Amino acid sequence: MGLLQSLFGKKESNQESNTVEKKVETVVEKIKPKNLTDQDMEQVIKDSSIPVLVDCWAPWCVPCQRVAPIIDALAEEYKDRVLISKLNTEQNRKMSSKYQIRSIPSILFFKDGKLIHIMVGAASKRDLQKEIDSVLLK
């Protein structure tokens, strides 16, 4: 049964079905983490009406690569409650230095524009959820 038929009881041709499904796929885009830079990070954190999580990473960092899909999933899961973002430490050394990022991945937690917690090292999705819930959403 096609999408139109299941929704409206209307039969559809394969061409109609494919067109409707493609439109639905383009409308339902996943929320992705916001990429921050030296130029915009402080302003984004200051202007955010919700808490901000910043994943500090680098392209060569294997633990960062393991955490990346978790960060993507958290961006979708917390989309209306926490601004999930990423900072490439190789390209944004000013902010990396300001927040004394010595080990990556490092996760920075901001609330009301202020740094309130830092989590260093790769973490599971469950551990990150616990931190978000206890640190940012309390």
The catalytic residues are 61, 64
97 phi, psi to nearest 5 deg:
-70, -45
Cβ atoms < 10 Å from Cβ of 119: 18
Q: What residues have CB less than 8 Å from 111, skipping those under 6 apart?
A: 51, 52, 135, 136
For the chain, the 3-state helix, strand and coil shares in percent, each to the nearest 5, are: 45, 20, 35
Give the span between the Cα atoms of 109 and 136, in whole angstroms: 7
The C-alpha angle with vertex 79 and arms to 136 and 61, in degrees rounded to 5, equals 75
Please say whether the beta carbons of 4 and 12 come within 8 A: yes
